Homo-oligomer: A and B are copies of this chain.
């Protein structure tokens, strides 16, 4: 069949609540706009662990295995203490990224004018902010070996980790960045610490070599990571596509998300390698975490998950018009004053998670 398979995994904390809303939206696009998706729900976390001994039970593994796209909620929370570390690790987000080789993590940073009041940055600094950070997600220091903690002869302990990148690991994520830039403003900024680290020097050389060989129509610049952190706060509108290694991307993308004031509503996708037809396995998830403090209260902001569906429409489902339709509906809802607690001004009316889902559906 030509149905695109989507696994819907709400996970833990506020994950299930927000995913319920994005799931509704996806069904709307299937029913009303004929988007050819086959949806399959699956469980993750404490509930399946208590039933099966696995946070990621076999049924969920199967659903994710056969899926073209995964709509993921969130993992973690206080409940995780009830799951032993080994069981937790076997089904962790890090191991999933690795298993499906989801090496390119795309995080759009867009400052919505309707939310300028709740952003820490000044309105004029946020003007025209619209860029994407691509974080390399399956290599670097989070995965490098050797790693561990050892005893030294003098009784001290020593902790060690290995930052490492190969030519291919660098080039494939840089390729994603250059290709994406061609569909946008045509600019890539590569971030490293090449004045100190050999891994960064190789990063810079390989990005530059791929650029010269295949993408010289794209504008390429390089920034040191300390300077990049400054520029994201000082003048974020200067960027189009930023590409960097796993650890720098982790820090910079959270910094940028917070600066834009849209943390609760930013989407992301992690992409695997393209097959012969250019299709890539994709895991879509909101940038925010499981927020255990508000889980189960029905007050979480579902827009990060809903906008992840917009990314899915654009990338996996190849329905750019539907993606734009959904993004516009979110803008319309926000412009009309729809606010969950995290983005509401003091005294303003606060919608529940469900009501925010309604507001977007009504605007569609």
Which of B159, B163, B200 is A203 in contact with, Cβ under 8 Å?
A: B159
Given the interface pairs A121-B122, A251-B226, the reply to whether A149 lies near B258 with Cβ below 8 Å is: no
Tell me the nearest residue of chain B to A254, going by C-beta: B226
Q: A276 at interface (Cβ–Cβ under 8 A)?
A: no
In chain A, positions 179-214 with a C-beta closer than 8 Å to chain B are: 193, 196-203, 206
B164 touches A160 (CB 8 A): yes
Q: Check A162 against B162 for contact (C-beta < 8 Å).
A: yes
Interface size for A (C-beta < 8 A) is 56
In the complex, what's the smallest C-beta–C-beta distance from A187 to chain B, in angstroms? 21
How many monomers of this protein are in the complex?
2
Query: How close is A103's CB to chain B, nearest CB, in angstroms?
Result: 15
| Residues of chain A from 143 to 190 with CB closer than 8 A to chain B in the complex | 144, 147-149, 152, 156-168
Among listed A51-59, A229-237, A320-328, interface-contacting one? A229-237
Given contacts A166-B152, A230-B263, A263-B230, contact A159 B121 (CB under 8 A): no
**A225 CB to nearest chain B CB (Å):** 6
Binding site for B on A (CB under 8 A): 94, 120-122, 125, 141-142, 144, 147-149, 152, 156-168, 193, 196-203, 206, 225-227, 229-230, 232-235, 247-248, 250-255, 257-259, 263
